[in-house]
Structure 1
C-alpha cells in the first residue's frame, strides 16, 4: 500500500507538462525514444533525491532547502535560459529518422534534467505539498523510507517512459511542423521559467 501511494506521488509530480516535459518531448522527436527516457531518468533521480531527504525528516528537508535555495534559484534560472537559447531552432528539423544517440549524449541529457529538476522551485514546492498531504512524512523506519523512495522513482519513470514511448510511436504520424513548434515551445517555456526563477531569487 505504501509503495502504491508513493508511486502515485511520483506520477502526480512528473505528469504536469512544464519545461522538463517539453524538453523530454523535444529530445524524443530530435533523437529518439532513448533520449527521451534518459531525460526522464534524470528527473526521476531528482524526485527520488527529494524523497530521500523528506523521508529523513521534514525538519532536515526544510533546512537543506533553505540553505541552498538562493544558489539553486540562480543556477537553475541561468541554466534554463542557456538551454532556451541553445534549444531555439534556427532551422526546421530534418525529416530523416533520428540516429541512435551515443552513450555520452544520453548521460549528458540525464545530468541536465537532473540538475534542472533539482533547481526548479515549483518541483520543490509541489513535492513537499503532495508528500505531506498523503501522509508520507509520517512513515518511520529504514524499510518504509526505501519503499517510499523506490515508489516515487518508479512512478516518475513510468510517466516519462510512457511519454517518450507515445511521442516516439506517433512521430511519423505527426505533421512535419510539429517538431519545430515543440522545440520553440520548449525554449519559450524554459526561458520563461528561467526568468521567473531569477526574479524570485533577486526580487
Structure 2
C-alpha cells in the first residue's frame, strides 16, 4: 500500500512542478501549435532533461553551491531573463506566420534547446531542487494526512497516506508525472489548434507575453541579487 501511495505521490509532485503556467509551458505551447506535437514534446523533454540534470546534481550536493554563491545565481538568472526576452521577441514575430509554412522549414529540435537552456537558468527550478527536491531525496517517511491541520487530529486517518521519501518509487513517480504532462499538454494544444483556426496566433501572443513577463521578473531578481 505504501509503495502505491508513494508512486502516486511522486506522479502528483511531478505534475505539480510541470503544469503551472510559466516560461517552460510557454515554449511548449508555441512549439506545439507551430510545429506539431513532436516539437512540443521535444521542448518538454528539454525542460525534463534539465530536471534530470538537477536531480543528479542534487544527489551529488552540487545544487547547493548555487545557494552559497549569490553572485553565481544572479548571473544565471540574468542570462535566463535575457534569453526569455529574446524568445518572447521570436514568439511575437511568429504571429504573422502560419503553421503550415513554418512546420516545413523549422528545426523541431530548436524547442528542446530553448527549453533546456531556460530551465537550467530558471531560479524557480533551482529553488525547487534546493528545497522540495532535497526533501524528496532524503530517506524517511511523511504521513501526509497527519500533517494537515484540519484533519491531523483524527487518529483513524493516521498512516493512511504515508509517503516514503528518498525511495526510487517516489523518484520514478515524479518523472512519470512530468512525462505525462509533456506528452498530454502538446497533444491537447494540437487537437484544439486543428479545430480552432485562430488558436495558433492566440498561443503565439500568449507565449510572447508570458516569456516577456518572466524575462522582466528574472532580470529584476538578478538586479536585486547582484546590486
| Alignment partner of 1:117 out of 111, 116, 119 | 119
Could you give the per-residue CA deviations for residues 48-78 of structure 1, whole angstroms, max 9, x where no partner exists?
Answer: 2222223334xx4322444331221111111
Shift of 1:150: 4.3
- Residue 199 of structure 1 corresponds to 220
**Structure 1 residues 156, 95: CA separation in 2 closer, same or farther (over 3 Å shift)?**
closer
Flag structure 2 segments of 5+ consecutive residues without an equivalent.
141-165
Which region of structure 1 is more displaced relative to structure 2, 25-34 or 116-125? 116-125
Residue 35 of structure 1 deviates from its aligned partner by 0.4
1:163 maps to 185
Q: Which moved further from structure 2: 186-195 or 146-155?
A: 146-155
Distance 1:180 1:110 in 2: 21
**Residues 47 and 91 of structure 1, relative CA distance in 2, 3 Å threshold:** closer
Partner of 2:143: none
**Counterpart position of 1:62:** 64
Q: Higher relative contact order by CA 8 Å / sep ≥ 6: 1 or 2?
A: 1
Q: Cα distance, 1:151 vs. partner?
A: 3.8
Of the candidates 80, 89, 96, which is equivalent to residue 85 of structure 1? 89
RMSD in angstroms over aligned alpha carbons? 2.6
1:4 Cα offset (Å): 4.3
The verdict on how the C-alpha distance between 1:83 and 1:145 changes in structure 2, with shifts beyond 3 A counting, is: farther
Tell whether 2:54 aligns with 1:33: no
Shift in Å at residue 182 of structure 1? 1.3
SS in 2 for 1:17: coil
TM-score with structure 1 setting the length: 0.81
- For 2:103 and 2:222, the matched residues in 1 are separated by 40
Q: What are the equivalent positions in structure 2 for 1:104-183 lying under 5 Å apart?
A: 105-131=107-133, 135-139=135-139, 149-174=171-196, 176-183=197-204
Q: Aligned partners of 1:149, 1:41: CA distance in 2, in Å?
A: 17
CA distance in 2, matches of 1:137, 1:23: 29
**Residue range with higher mean Cα deviation, 69-78 or 6-15:** 6-15
How many angstroms apart in 1 are the aligned matches of 2:123 and 2:130? 11
Residues 167 and 81 of structure 1: CA distance in aligned 2, closer, same or farther (over 3 Å): same
Contact 2:64 / 2:130 at 8 angstroms: preserved in 1? no
Matched, 1:23 2:44: no
CA contact under 8 A between 1:38 and 1:107: conserved in structure 2? yes
1:167 is displaced (CA, Å) by 1.3
Residues 196 and 17 (structure 1 numbering): CA distance in 2 closer, same or farther, change over 3 Å? same
> Residue in 2 aligned with 1:184?
205
Preserved contact between residue 37 and residue 161 of structure 1 (Cα < 8 Å): yes
Q: Where does structure 1 differ by over 4 angstroms across 4 or more consecutive aligned residues?
A: 144-150
